[in-house]
Amino acid sequence: MTRGTRFVVAGLAVAVNAAALAAVHTAMGQINERERLALHEPARIVVVGQRPVDVAIQHCPAPAQKVL
């Protein structure tokens, strides 16, 4: 092997390792971002207003009366 070929092979190895390191760095950043977003508490949602009674009865029926 000539000196030039060795430099080309060494340069190619450095480039491949740098690309792999950049990919791992990006993946770690994405994992960190997901973990940070998972810990974020959602904003409280406050609903103000009246619902029609029939809608409230359909979604939240009263418990059945117990007969003793």
Domain spans of the chain?
3-59
Task: Give the Cα separation of 54 and 40 in Å (integer).
Answer: 37
Mean pLDDT confidence for 15-42? 91
Is the confidence at residue 55, as pLDDT, over 60? no
Is the confidence at residue 67, as pLDDT, over 80? no
Mean pLDDT confidence for 17-42? 90
Residue 2 DSSP class: -
